[in-house]
């Protein structure tokens, strides 16, 4: 038992210890076992869950979740041979795993009941999954859990009650018509057509209230436990573990990318999120981090090998194309992370630099729609031209703007993004000089041919098959590797430290001898160059460029808003953060078609929740972790009377 003034280790439900453990393990096993049974009798539900003995779709998730719960419960208990799974021994890992299983099973059961109209559509397997996962959660709640002693904000703010009352009255009044007289006729449709809002608001408040109640009851917290020293493994075994973990990671990503229907993807997201939380709490992730820190090169190699293996494991070209597009998006997001995450410069038009690179490369690609149609430069030269063009634009935009402090850069880059798009639309020979073929863009960019390897054709290497999209995925992976290398090396260098210093306190940084303008311009220009490089590759991968690919905001990534969101969601200043953020932001809209019109709303809600619960992003660097969650603030007692600003100079 770990005791401290702020946290305690106690169960939520007062169950006898062996009963709680039994329920957690048994529930997990039952949920896992249900995967081998039929959940519903008709094949109408996507994925066809009607078979005995062969799991499908959501059942696989129940199997994994249930097994993980049972194993974690045994590992947390200290079962020999499983300790590696739960080095911290915290019960929270079991609870999260159980909650993940519960979420998947109940989501599936409810979806079956709703979509097929009624509980009668459930087979015994479905019932078993529901009961088993519930049992696992109850059992986990009876285990000793790490909990806060204090209840945070037990009261709901009165303002929310007021909002609730107002919206209820408005809903009633608008529905019955009498409240309409209070609304000016001009904006009446705004109210009558959006009645849902007045329902959604109370629902949101109720959910919020429910969450507070639940949180006050559970008081789940995090106790930083020192992990016991790991059993020493020989070097090769450690490397083997790292490799195996990445192989599993590849499997997980592959499952997510190739989910065929929305329900499965939702289940996948739920389980991955909870399982990650579970492994974090159990200390398995911490242990893995120790390993990867010891074997940097192997880790990076394994990560890229896993990404490179992806196209070989896919039989469908569409999924490979998704993988390629994720890589494009992720690479650009990482480039933006130099500008936003390290130097703290808000660039709202980053996608324009991607566009500059793509257009520059497309113009010299030998496409018959290019004004220089006879000019067919080799691919590497085209990439360099794309990067150089973006660099020039970066300097031209940055040089006048970065001299100023404040938010000018955000406004100027936002404007530049729009100007770029409009200029590309207008340079069509009628509205302006002929360069870009206007809204039609430059299509039919010839396939890349490097050293006789034609990227446009499928290739076979013995048993391995690589299609056109696979070729381009590997090509894009090289670009990603370049950006990752640049980021990793620069972030931890004299110039990278200067960026962070500028971000932290520009005045102090200048007083330490840093030429703020120069250093910021370097960051901005480097960001632009990396985007240009990615853009040049992107133009060849997608085979066409057009102005509407480079918007500030659109439902499909990459656009400037999504890029920024990927960086913030994933974790500013880290390498894996934007990669993960980009993957999620690409997959979620692509997979959840039913979100369509509510996508931006959902996106906004997700960002708000993230800022509330994990402001450092999904993946936090050591620095961000401390930045946002460390409560040990030193006294800042000195009178603040010497804050010079440029205004005073």
Ligand X SMILES: Nc1ncnc2c1ncn2[C@@H]1O[C@H](COP(=O)(O)OP(=O)(O)O)[C@@H](O)[C@H]1O
> Are the CB atoms for 46 and 263 separated by under 8 Å?
yes
- Can you state the percent helix, strand and coil of the chain, rounding each to 5? 65, 5, 30
Pairing of strands 464-466, 449-450: unpaired
Query: Please, which of residues 589-648 interact with ligand X by CB under 6 A?
Result: 641-642, 644, 648
Spatial separation of the C-alpha atoms in residues 287 and 264, rounded to whole Å: 30
| Minimum gap (Å) between residue 644 Cβ and ligand X | 6
Instruction: Report, in Å, the least distance between residue 641 CB and ligand X.
Output: 4
Indicate which single residue of 4, 315, 597, 632 sits in contact with other proteins (rule: CB under 8 A): 632
Select the binding partner of residue 172 from other proteins, ligand X, none (C-beta < 5 to 8 A, by kind): none
What is the distance between the alpha carbons of residues 591 and 588, in angstroms, rounded to a whole number?
5
**Is the Cβ–Cβ distance between 8 and 92 less than 8 Å?**
no
CA distances from 623 to 3, 157, 344, 378 (A): 27, 33, 15, 42
Q: Which is nearer to other proteins, 328 or 491 (CB)?
A: 491
User: Distance between alpha carbon 281 and the CA centroid of its chain, in Å?
Assistant: 20
Which partner, other proteins, ligand X, none, binds residue 14 by CB below 5 to 8 Å per kind?
Answer: none
Of these, 473, 501, 528, 536, which contacts other proteins (CB under 8 A)?
A: 501
**CB 516 → other proteins: shortest distance, Å?**
7
Whether 442 and 545 have beta carbons less than 8 Å apart is answered as yes
Closer of 315 and 632 to other proteins (Cβ): 632
Binding partner at 516 among other proteins, ligand X, none, C-beta below 5 to 8 Å by kind? other proteins
CB of 622 to other proteins, least distance (A): 9
Task: Please say which residue, 179 or 384, places its beta carbon nearer to other proteins.
Answer: 384
**Residues of span 84-143 touching other proteins by CB under 8 A:** none
CB-closest chain residue to ligand X: 648
Query: Which partner, ligand X, other proteins, none, binds residue 515 by CB below 5 to 8 Å per kind?
Result: other proteins
Burial of 217 (0-12, 13-18, 19+ CB in 10 A): exposed
Nearest distance, CB of residue 299 and other proteins, angstroms: 18
Write down the least CB distance from residue 509 to ligand X, Å: 19
632 binds, among other proteins, ligand X, none (CB under 5 to 8 A by kind): other proteins
Residue 460 contact, options ligand X, other proteins, none, Cβ 5-8 Å cut-off depending on partner type: none
Candidates 541, 488, 529; CA nearest to 328 is 541
For ligand X, the closer of residues 6 and 645 by Cβ is: 645
Please say whether the beta carbons of 385 and 377 come within 8 A.
yes
Both tokens of 619, joined, read 């993946």
Pairing of strands 464-466, 459-461: antiparallel
Q: Does the footprint of ligand X cover residue 155 (CB under 6 A)?
A: no
> Least Å distance between CB 648 and ligand X?
3
Least Cβ distance, residue 511 to ligand X (angstroms): 15
CA atoms within 13 A on the CB side of 323: 34
Q: 155 or 641: whose CB is closer to ligand X?
A: 641
185 binds, among other proteins, ligand X, none (CB under 5 to 8 A by kind): none
Copy the structure tokens of residue 251: 């499997």
Per rule CB under 6 A, count of chain residues that contact ligand X: 4
Contact 534/352 with Cβ under 8 angstroms? no
Note whether 104 and 67 are within 8 A (CB): no
Asked if 539 contacts 532 with a C-beta cutoff of 8 angstroms, the reply is no
The reply to whether 526 sits near other proteins by the rule CB under 8 A is: yes
C-beta of 640: minimal distance to other proteins in Å?
Answer: 4
User: Smaller CB distance to other proteins: residue 264 or 391?
Assistant: 391
Determine, following the binding rule CB under 8 A, whether residue 636 of this chain makes contact with other proteins.
yes
Among 3, 44, 224, 505, binds other proteins (CB under 8 A): 505
Which one of other proteins, ligand X, none interacts with residue 649, CB within 5 to 8 A by kind? other proteins
| Residue 94 contacts residue 143 (beta carbons within 8 Å) | yes
From the list 553, 550, 575, the residue with the least C-alpha distance to 564 is 553
229-236 long-range contacts, Cβ below 8 Å, gap at least 24? 230/84, 230/87, 230/287, 230/290
CA proximity to 122, closest of 111, 134, 107, 109: 109
CB of 505 to ligand X, least distance (A): 17
What are the tokens at 26?
Answer: 């048994």
Q: How many CB atoms lie within 10 A of CB 612?
A: 8
Of the candidates 291, 278, 189, the one whose C-alpha atom is nearest the C-alpha of residue 237 is 291
Q: Residue ranges of the alpha helices (H) in 36-150? A: 58-76, 92-115, 124-141
Instruction: Tell me which stretch binds other proteins (CB under 8 A): 50-58, 387-395, 408-416, 509-517.
Output: 509-517
Pick one of 414, 495, 592, 606: the residue that binds other proteins (CB under 8 A): 495
635 binds, among ligand X, other proteins, none (CB under 5 to 8 A by kind): other proteins
Residue 642 Cβ, how far from ligand X at the closest point, in Å? 5
The two three-digit tokens of residue 139, written as one number: 């059992």
Residue 612 tokens, joined:
């509330």
Taking CB within 5 to 8 Å according to partner kind, which of other proteins, ligand X, none is near residue 410? none
Q: How many residues bind other proteins (CB under 8 A)?
A: 46
Q: Mask 202-221, x = binds other proteins (CB under 8 A)?
A: --------------------
Q: How far is the CB of 515 from ligand X (least distance, A)?
A: 22
The mark string for 454-493 relative to other proteins (x by CB under 8 A, - otherwise) is -------------------------------xx--xx--x
Q: Given candidates 515, 593, 598, 601, which one binds other proteins under the rule CB under 8 A?
A: 515
Query: Which part of the chain contacts other proteins (CB under 8 A), choosing from 47-55, 73-81, 92-100, 495-503?
Result: 495-503
Pull the structure tokens for residue 414: 């936002």
Which residues are CB-contacts of 62 (< 8 A; sequence separation ≥ 6)? 31, 32, 34, 35, 55, 101, 104, 105, 108, 129, 133
Question: Which among 383, 363, 387 is positioned nearest to 375, based on CA atoms?
Answer: 363
* Whole-number Å distance between alpha carbons of 586 and 623: 27
Give the nearer residue to other proteins in terms of CB position, either 65 or 621: 621
Which residue ranges make up the site for ligand X (CB under 6 A)? Answer: 641-642, 644, 648
Q: Which residues bind other proteins (CB under 8 A)?
A: 485-486, 489-490, 493-498, 500-501, 504-505, 507-516, 522, 526, 623-624, 626-627, 630, 632-644, 648-649
């Amino acid at each position: 038992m770990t005791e401290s003034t702020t946290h305690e280790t106690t169960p939520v439900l007062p169950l006898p210890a062996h009963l709680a453990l039994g329920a957690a393990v048994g529930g997990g096993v039952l949920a896992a076992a249900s995967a081998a049974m039929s959940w519903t009798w008709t094949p109408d539900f996507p994925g066809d869950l009607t078979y005995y003995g062969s799991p499908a779709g959501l059942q696989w998730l129940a199997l994994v979740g249930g097994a993980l719960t049972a194993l974690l419960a045994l590992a947390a208990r200290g079962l020999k041979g499983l300790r590696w799974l739960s080095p911290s021994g915290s019960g929270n890992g079991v609870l999260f795993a159980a909650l993940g299983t519960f979420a998947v099973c109940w989501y599936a059961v409810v979806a079956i009941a709703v979509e097929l109209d009624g509980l009668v559509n459930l087979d015994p397997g479905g019932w078993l999954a529901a009961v088993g996962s519930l049992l696992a959660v109850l059992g986990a709640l009876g285990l000793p859990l790490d909990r806060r002693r204090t209840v945070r904000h037990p009261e709901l703010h009165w303002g929310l009650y007021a909002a609730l009352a107002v919206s209820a009255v408005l809903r009633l009044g608008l529905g019955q018509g009498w409240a309409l007289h209070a609304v000016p006729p001009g904006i009446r449709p705004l109210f009558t057509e959006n009645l849902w809002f007045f329902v959604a608001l109370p629902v949101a408040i109720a959910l919020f209230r429910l969450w507070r109640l639940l949180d006050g009851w559970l008081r789940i917290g995090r106790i930083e436990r020192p992990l016991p020293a790991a059993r020493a493994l020989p070097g090769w075994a450690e490397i083997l573990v790292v490799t195996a973990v990445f192989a599993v990671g590849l499997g997980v990503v592959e499952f997510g990318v190739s989910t065929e229907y929305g329900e499965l993807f939702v289940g996948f997201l739920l389980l991955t999120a909870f399982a990650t939380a579970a492994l974090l709490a159990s200390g398995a992730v911490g242990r893995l981090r120790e390993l990867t820190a010891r074997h940097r090169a192997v880790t990076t190699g394994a990560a890229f090998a896993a990404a490179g293996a992806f196209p070989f494991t896919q039989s469908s070209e569409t999924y490979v194309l998704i993988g390629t597009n994720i890589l494009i998006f992720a690479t650009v997001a990482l480039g933006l992370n130099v500008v936003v995450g390290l130097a703290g410069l808000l660039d709202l038009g980053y996608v324009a630099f991607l566009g500059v690179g793509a257009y520059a490369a497309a113009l010299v690609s030998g496409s018959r729609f290019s004004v220089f149609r006879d000019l067919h430069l080799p691919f590497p030269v085209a990439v360099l031209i794309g990067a150089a063009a973006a660099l020039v634009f970066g300097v031209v935009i940055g040089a006048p703007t970065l001299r100023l402090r404040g938010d000018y850069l955000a406004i100027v880059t936002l404007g530049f993004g729009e100007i770029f798009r409009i200029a590309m639309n207008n340079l069509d020979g009628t509205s302006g000089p002929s360069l870009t073929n206007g809204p039609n863009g430059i299509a039919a960019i010839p396939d890349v041919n490097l050293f006789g390897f034609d990227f446009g054709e499928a290739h076979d290497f013995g048993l391995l098959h690589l299609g056109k999209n696979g070729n381009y995925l590997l090509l894009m992976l090289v670009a990603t590797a370049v950006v990752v290398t640049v980021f990793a090396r620069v972030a931890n260098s004299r110039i990278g430290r200067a960026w962070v210093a500028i971000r932290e306190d520009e005045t102090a940084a200048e007083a330490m001898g840093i030429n703020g303008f120069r250093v910021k311009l370097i960051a901005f220009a480097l960001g632009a160059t990396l985007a240009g490089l990615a853009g040049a590759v992107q133009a060849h991968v997608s085979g066409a460029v057009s102005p509407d690919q480079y918007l500030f905001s659109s439902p499909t990534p990459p656009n400037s808003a999504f890029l920024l969101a990927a960086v913030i969601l994933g974790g500013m200043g880290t390498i894996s953060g934007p990669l993960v953020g980009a993957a999620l932001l690409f997959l979620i809209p692509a997979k959840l078609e039913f979100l369509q019109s509510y996508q931006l709303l959902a996106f906004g809600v997700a960002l708000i929740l993230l800022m509330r619960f994990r402001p450092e992003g999904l993946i936090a660097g050591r620095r961000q972790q401390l930045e946002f969650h460390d409560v040990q603030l030193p006294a800042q007692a000195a009178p603040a009377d010497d804050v010079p600003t440029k205004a005073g100079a």
